[in-house]
């Protein structure tokens, strides 16, 4: 989604996207046919969207061929600058080597931290990251929090935030209006409920399970059975299935309060929890609904929320604090209005045409 949205701000003569595919090549719904060309390389094996990690051996087997195919694409498309995207380390490393072999400018784009993430099992991770960092003229990162962490740790002056984007504002609607008192409030959360936010989401469910005034609907591609296996009690949320990106805004209009959970602890490294910025934040900011964020102190997400005052922040891992936050929202109509106004204003930071223009300028002004 990150690359798709960003690509919409480039013309075919400006950008070519090179990425992986499984044995089946499927068209992406909603992709602009007049936009950049997408080129695919067969390197993935999985079933029903899962099991990818069990076939790392296949990606390694295809690595040399991947480098050669990237080099061929560079020649055929007259590529003058290559940007490698992580979290696919094979494609990131292959791009780095292809650019070096053909002596063209190279940058990297890290959506997440790599060697700092405890979920990483690559024995050569540190060596590969050093190779990519050393060969990158610019290293784009997903958030200001990642930039600050990397600059402090690696003492390099080439980390540049390149944020998530959206490309179309929702249609104008009537001013925000949530009645001061209701018998029941409908909460909604969207996204991929995994180690990035699972622990915080389970605490939210614990907080509302004995509160009949609140109900939670979850929109996710993760099957209900898998969420239950991960410890989420399905008695206290309604599993709504996946929702297409272009439908999210209309779906959110059916609810009273948006929920954004961000892990305090879990299977990721401390740095990852401190620096990641959830993609689902953007549609929530654009929703026209008040947002409750449950996120740990000292994280970039918290700093962002505090700076822009665009959501009610609960940074204490207690169910009581979550309920107090919901109470604050439903009982203070002026506060509701302020949250929505600030969120709408904050969303402008992620407007695709502006972000795309900044990226083009940064590439032109590279060292």
DSSP string, 307-364: HHT-SEEE-S--HHHHHHHHHHHHH-HHHHHHHHHHHHHHHGGGBHHHHHHHHHHHHH
Burial of 329 (0-12, 13-18, 19+ CB in 10 A): buried
pLDDT at position 24 is 72
Say if residue 190's pLDDT is above 80.
yes
Question: How far from the centroid of its chain's Cα atoms is residue 213's Cα?
Answer: 31
pLDDT at position 15 is 96
Say if residue 180's pLDDT is above 80.
no
Say if residue 27's pLDDT is above 80.
no
Say if residue 285's pLDDT is above 70.
yes
Whose structure tokens read 């591609």? 221
Domains plus CATH for the chain? 2-167+351-364 (3.40.50.2000), 185-350 (3.40.50.2000)
Whole-Å CA distances, 124 to 54, 130, 322, 355, 359: 18, 10, 42, 33, 30
Q: State percent of the chain over pLDDT 70.
A: 91
The string of pLDDT tens digits covering residues 43-73 is: 887 665 555 666 676 778 899 999 999 999 9
pLDDT at position 176 is 57
Contact 101, 71 (CB under 8 A): yes
Average pLDDT over residues 142-146: 91
Residue 26's pLDDT band (cuts 50, 70, 90): low
Say if residue 337's pLDDT is above 60.
yes
Say if residue 156's pLDDT is above 80.
yes
Contact 207, 186 (CB under 8 A): no
Q: For the chain, where are the E strands, in sequence order? A: 16-21, 37-42, 82-86, 106-110, 139-141, 159-161, 185-190, 214-219, 238-239, 257-261, 291-294, 312-314
pLDDT at position 174 is 52
Residue 173's pLDDT band (cuts 50, 70, 90): low
Contact 311, 339 (CB under 8 A): yes
- Phi/psi of residue 126, nearest 5 degrees: -65, -40
The string of pLDDT tens digits covering residues 234-260 is: 999 999 999 998 899 999 999 999 999
Burial of 331 (0-12, 13-18, 19+ CB in 10 A): exposed
Contact 217, 237 (CB under 8 A): yes
Q: State both tokens at 208.
A: 């509302």
The string of pLDDT tens digits covering residues 91-117 is: 999 999 999 999 999 999 999 999 988
Contact 301, 280 (CB under 8 A): no
pLDDT at position 245 is 86
> CA–CA separation, 131 vs 121, rounded Å?
18
Q: State both tokens at 143.
A: 């958030």
Say if residue 31's pLDDT is above 70.
no
Say if residue 125's pLDDT is above 90.
yes
Tell me the torsion sign for CA atoms 228, 51, 276, 297. Answer: positive
Lay out the sheet containing 214-219: strands in order across: 238-239, 214-219, 185-190, 257-261, 291-294, 312-314
Contact 146, 113 (CB under 8 A): yes
Say if residue 23's pLDDT is above 80.
no
* CA quadruple 139, 140, 141, 144: dihedral, nearest 10: 100
Which range is least confidently modeled, 67-76, 102-111, 119-128, 354-363?
119-128
Nearest CA-CA partner of 272 in 109, 142, 170: 142
Burial of 304 (0-12, 13-18, 19+ CB in 10 A): buried
């Amino acid at each position: 989604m990150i690359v798709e949205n960003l690509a919409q701000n480039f013309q075919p003569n400006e950008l070519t996207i090179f990425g992986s595919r499984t044995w089946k090549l499927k068209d992406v719904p909603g992709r602009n046919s007049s936009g950049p060309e997408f080129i695919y390389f067969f390197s993935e094996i999985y079933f029903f969207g899962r099991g990818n990690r069990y076939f790392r051996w296949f990606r390694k087997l295809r690595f040399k061929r991947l480098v050669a195919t990237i080099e061929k694409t560079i020649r055929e498309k007259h590529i003058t600058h290559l940007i490698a995207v992580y979290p696919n380390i094979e494609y990131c490393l292959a791009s780095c080597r292809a650019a070096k072999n053909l002596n063209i400018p190279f940058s990297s784009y890290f959506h997440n931290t790599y060697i700092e993430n405890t979920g990483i099992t690559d024995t050569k991770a540190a060596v590969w990251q050093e190779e990519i960092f050393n060969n990158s003229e610019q290293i784009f990162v997903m958030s200001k929090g990642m930039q600050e962490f990397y600059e402090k740790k690696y003492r390099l002056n080439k980390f540049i935030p390149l944020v998530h984007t959206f490309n179309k504002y929702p249609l104008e609607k009537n001013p925000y209006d949530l009645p001061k008192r209701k018998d029941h409030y409908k909460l909604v959360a969207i996204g991929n409920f995994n180690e990035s936010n699972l622990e915080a989401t389970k605490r939210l469910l614990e907080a509302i399970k004995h509160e009949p005034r609140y109900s939670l609907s979850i929109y996710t591609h993760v099957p209900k059975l898998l969420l239950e296996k991960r410890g989420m009690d399905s008695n206290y949320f309604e599993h709504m299935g996946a929702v297409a990106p272009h439908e999210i805004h209309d779906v959110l209009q059916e609810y009273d309060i948006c929920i954004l959970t961000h892990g305090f602890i879990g299977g990721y490294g401390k740095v990852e929890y401190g620096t990641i910025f959830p993609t689902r934040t953007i549609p929530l900011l654009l929703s026209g609904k008040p947002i409750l964020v449950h996120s740990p102190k000292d994280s970039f997400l918290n700093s962002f929320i505090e700076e822009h005052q665009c959501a009610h922040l609960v940074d204490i891992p207690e169910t009581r604090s979550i309920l107090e936050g919901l109470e604050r929202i439903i009982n203070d109509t002026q506060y509701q209005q302020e949250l929505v106004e600030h969120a709408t204003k904050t969303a402008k930071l992620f407007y695709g045409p502006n972000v795309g223009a900044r990226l083009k300028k940064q590439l032109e002004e590279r060292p």
